[in-house]
Amino acid sequence: MVDLLVVGAGPVGLACAIEAQRHGLTARVLDKGALTNSILGYPARMEFFSTPDLIEIGDHPFPVTGYKPTRENALEYYRMVAAREALDLRLYETMLGLEGTRGAFTITTSRGTHHARHLVVATGFFDHPNRLTVPGADLPKVTHYYREAFPYAHQHVAVIGARNSAAKAALDCHRHGASVTLVVRGPALSDRIKYWIRPDLENRIKEGSITAHFSTVVEEIRQTSLVVRGPGGLLEIPNDWVLAMTGYQPDFAFLQRLGIALADDGAQTPVCDPATFETTRPGVYIAGTVCGGLNTGRWFIENGRFHARQIVAHLTGQRAPTGTTAPGHWKTEE
């Protein structure tokens, strides 16, 4: 039996395990995918909004050659931290069920059984996209993830969305020879687009290199075209690929199976003590972006990493460090 089982091997989950070990607790980290699986799914060479010091964990310095760390920098950094801390990692192992009570939990997985006194859920939200619900949304040419532009060279690509993921995909595909159409539900691009990306995209739209349709929604996805509805009515455009950058949400069904209540607040926010992050099921805690429910921009690495201190302080009967509970004002990567 371990003192703490952490579900989710992202930066926040790793921070929880590190904090537990440094306070004399035994910890194990479980993930259904790779180490920092969400970051692995980011676009190649993506730059974080944050500077390295804001996404460090365990007081390990995050050295980078540039001002902003990239996806590749982060993958190597968190791998290095996990190795230095000798974390007990169980990767590619899916959690299936939870039985027992605080102090004596039994966790069943795709590979066996674990026993833990406490559980932290730090599963994020990147594995569950907000899917399109229109005819043709299940065609193979539709994806909710973007890695790199090369597969889309010399193709008609529609990018759905108005935030960072959509802006990155649209610009990359355009610069690698794709004919890009941007479809935006709202009247303008999101204010959350990174400050060094937004002017670039605006200029490409202005010069006509990227076609943009604002106040427009997708009506139907066909094999060789896309039907959208905008201010001028229905429009059918040539299309080979649809990159639906429509955002993501936590796995609410999984949270409920664990006995975690969700608030009736329009965001399905998991109910927890804001000082300790213990949920409505005693002994089960949440940490990181999953804490915000549908408000996925409230918590992320910069402030979610501090949840580890508060959780472990509660487990060990200590007073949580001050200044770590307020979400503050942050820029999300999405």
145 within 8 A of 129, measured Cβ to Cβ: yes
Determine the pLDDT at residue 301.
87
Q: Which of 287, 221, 233, 225 is nearest to 255 (CA)?
A: 287
Which pTM does this prediction carry?
0.88
Angle at 248 between CA 245 and CA 251, to 5 degrees: 155
- In angstroms, the Cα distances linking 27 to 3, 20, 92, 119, 121 are 6, 7, 17, 10, 13
Q: What are phi and psi of 180, to 5 degrees?
A: -105, 130
244 within 8 A of 131, measured Cβ to Cβ: yes
Calpha distance 311→61 (Å, rounded): 23
Determine the pLDDT at residue 321.
58
Calpha distance 99→281 (Å, rounded): 11
Determine the pLDDT at residue 330.
32
DSSP output for 146-169: ---SGGGTTSEEEEE-SSHHHHHH
Q: What is the dihedral of CA 2, 37, 272, 117, to 10 degrees?
A: -10
Determine the pLDDT at residue 329.
30
Determine the pLDDT at residue 9.
97
Which uninterrupted H or E stretch holds 75? helix 71-84
Mean pLDDT by 10 residues, the chain (334 residues): 97 97 97 95 87 93 90 96 98 97 97 98 90 95 94 97 93 97 95 90 96 97 97 96 94 95 94 96 96 85 92 86 42 42
> What is the second-level CATH architecture of the domain 142-244?
3-Layer(bba) Sandwich (3.50)
333: DSSP letter: -
105 within 8 A of 283, measured Cβ to Cβ: yes
> Could you tell me how far CA 177 lies from the centroid of its own chain?
29
> Could you tell me how far CA 221 lies from the centroid of its own chain?
26
Question: Identical fold at 2-128+248-315 and 142-244?
Answer: yes
User: Domain segments of the chain: what residues?
Assistant: 2-128+248-315, 142-244
- Which residues sit opposite 108 in a β-bridge? 97, 113
Beta strand pairing call for 179-183 and 156-160: parallel
Q: CATH homologous superfamily of domain 2-128+248-315?
A: FAD/NAD(P)-binding domain (3.50.50.60)
- Which residues sit opposite 284 in a β-bridge? 119
